[in-house]
A and B are shown apart, each in its own frame.
Chain A
Amino acid sequence: MMEKSSPRRRVAFVGMPNTGKSTLFGRLTGVRAKVANWPGMTVDLLSAKTILGGQTVEMVDLPGMYSLHGFGEDERLVRHFLEQEPVSLLLVVLNATQIDRQLPLVLQLKALDVPMVVALNMADEASFLGIRFNCQRLSETLGMPVCQVSAKRGEGMAELKALLTQAVSAQEGRVASRNDALLIEDDRLEAEAERIVAAGVDFPHSLPETTTDRIDRVLLHRWFGLPLFLLLMYLLFQAVYGIGVPLQDGMKWLVEHLREGVLEPRLLDASPVLRSFVLEGLIDGVGTVLTFLPIILVFFVLMAIVEDSGYLARVAFLMDRWMSKLGLDGRAFVMQIMGLGCNVPALMGTRVIRSRSQRLLSMLIIPFSLCSARLQVIVFMTAALFPLHWAPAVMMSLYLVSFAVAFLSALIWKRRYRSDEALLLEFPPYRFPTLRSLFQQGWHSTRHFLAGASGFILGGVLFIWLLTHYPFHLPPASAGTLAGQLAGWLQPIFAPIGIDAILSVALLFGFVAKEIVLGGLAVIYGAGEDKLGEVLSARLDWVQAYSFMFFILIYTPCLSAVATIRRESRSWGFATLAVAWPLAVAWLISLIFYQTARFILG
């Protein structure tokens, strides 16, 4: 915490949700926060230093808030920040198309008596709608500089920077104290805002029918809305695999090259334990995860299109009726869909849900979403063990089971995580992201994913290497190794569901990351990925295979998902439940399936 008398300059970004604050913040500081055309994306305070007119200024991006006097968590956070931290300037970001309802917030903030600059963002959309601003008039009546910008297109940045520089240097060394901030009654502010808007903004008589309205007439159709959504999702996943898999092959080639061309020759003289540690622990384990990076990157870029487009709010609208029966709302379904790619960003996305219990319930069911890592295992096993014409039906059955388990879990737990949060969600217009923002966002998400997961994955991989290799003189994963002994103890649990000891060792791999299951099986059976299919079909019948796939599908989220659940819920108890519950459900479902099938088939 700095001294109150410190001459340091700090600019705080404030505004309502979904006004493009974070995009503008990124433009001015070069620091990217996750942005989406979905209200409430900024949850953490993000700060960055930048140079304005030759002096260092700290910029802080505050979460969106509807009113300075509101009672939401975001509002409290912003108020707390403004009360505790010295701020030399407030940059108020408004959605220019909604200036009539956003201006009261400016007047509330004005009462704090801190220097302010107003940026009318999304000026491009406003001019498209025929809304015209007299910025000079607005500046005079508001008593603060006002300018139009488009953060997305980078328009008006020079003028805004000039205004900020001027406003900040005019306040040399001054730090305002806001402890005596008065709450002026809001009705008076409303009337004042109306007067200011009438004087400085020219609204067209009636807003023209927009492209958004025309698209919505199709996408929100009573009967076709949901089928269209399913079709769009199907196309999205086709595209993820169509673009991602070739890139993944390239990554595999790189990792193999690193192993065979660089590391193996250098480790010829090293001790066998070190050799095995680097090659079978580091490279096989971490390398397998790395080969998934391209798919994750492609998925995040495509998901960024969906998020930026504003379509997710429509999906929430279409599904809300069904989700309300599960104690959730449409937003939870949106997260379930995001989870099909990777559970981790979906878990973080639950931040838009205000009620803690509803948020926890949503986080409890997201891991049942069949993520791309599990899909890989399932696709591989389906191809190896079932006739070709059965494969689509097998895949479909697993998707259905994954959704059924998620919804049943919500039904069971909704009493424990009861919430009566009203659904009140702003409906943004459709927007098309710029190419630049797409790649920045895809890259940002991927880096964030890596930073969050890498420590966990590295540690887990090395731990499993140790389990399967110690004592070092035994063959890897044989009965005498730590993993072999553990599998022996686990046998009473796994035998009733048709999974033999050696397969249960692979499930240990899967706890770290489902991506490792295939590699784990390859190590266990001593077969390369190309021969693994034959080995599996010789050892398993279809009933065992199904039981194994059900178990893989449902049991425990991967370590990075567990880490995210722990971080987001800030509760070890909840993280434990999020591991134990799916484990129990997976075992029960596999048991019922396996025993019934065996009984029927004799």
Chain B
Amino acid sequence: MTLDQLSPAQCATVVEIDLPFELRERLAALGVKTGRHLSVVHRIGRHGPLQVRAGSTDFILRPQEAAGIRIQ
């Protein structure tokens, strides 16, 4: 499944990131890489942005980008 399908308070591990290079770089700098644990902290509605936690870093992104992050 992909990150946009993860419910709040659930944890998952990144399997693959299928996004443009620049975005992948920025995600990597925020600590999102293959093998890392992620969790969704908050989410506004079904189509709203997600607040994601990677280690001690929180960030927000939209579901369309989250759909490019495969997790398990």
Binding site for B on A (CB under 8 A): 16, 66-67, 69-72, 97-98, 100-101, 105, 129, 186, 190, 207, 213, 216, 220, 222, 225, 313, 316-318, 320-321, 324, 330, 422-429
Contacts and interface: CB of A to CB of B under 8 A. Distances in A.
Interface in B6-23: 21-23
Given A316-B60, A425-B60, A426-B57, A71 B30 contact: no
Given A317-B44, A320-B48, A330-B49, A67 B60 contact: no
B40 to A, nearest CB: 12
Contact of A100 (B27, B31, B47): B31
Nearest to A324: B62
Contacts of A98: 31, 55-57
A320 B42 CA distance: 14
Contacts of A16: 29
Contacts of A67: 25, 28-29
A427 B25 contact: no
A68 to B, nearest CB: 10
A484 to B, nearest CB: 55
Contacts of A100: 31, 55-56
Contacts of B27: 424
B60 A321 contact: no
Given A16-B29, A424-B23, A427-B60, A225 B44 contact: yes
A402 B47 CA distance: 27
B32 to A, nearest CB: 9
By Cβ-Cβ distance, the 5 closest A-B pairs, closest first, are A66-B29, A427-B58, A101-B31, A321-B48, A320-B49
B63 to A, nearest CB: 10
A100 B57 CA distance: 10
Nearest to B62: A423
Contacts of B62: 320, 324, 422-423
B31 A422 contact: no
Interface in B24-43: 25-31, 33, 41-42
Interface of B: 21-23, 25-31, 33, 41-42, 44-45, 47-49, 51, 54-62, 64-65
B42 A424 contact: no
A317 B54 CA distance: 17
Given A98-B55, A426-B58, A427-B59, 5 more contacts: A66-B30, A213-B41, A330-B60, A423-B61, A426-B57
Nearest to A190: B33
Given A207-B56, A321-B49, A424 B44 contact: no
A64 to B, nearest CB: 10
A69 B24 CA distance: 12
A243 to B, nearest CB: 33
Contacts of B60: 313, 316-317, 320, 330, 423-425, 427
A210 to B, nearest CB: 10
B42 to A, nearest CB: 5
A139 to B, nearest CB: 22
Contacts of B47: 321
A423 B63 CA distance: 10
Contacts of B29: 16, 66-67, 70, 101, 105
A291 B25 CA distance: 49
A207 B26 CA distance: 24
A203 B25 CA distance: 25
A324 B49 CA distance: 10
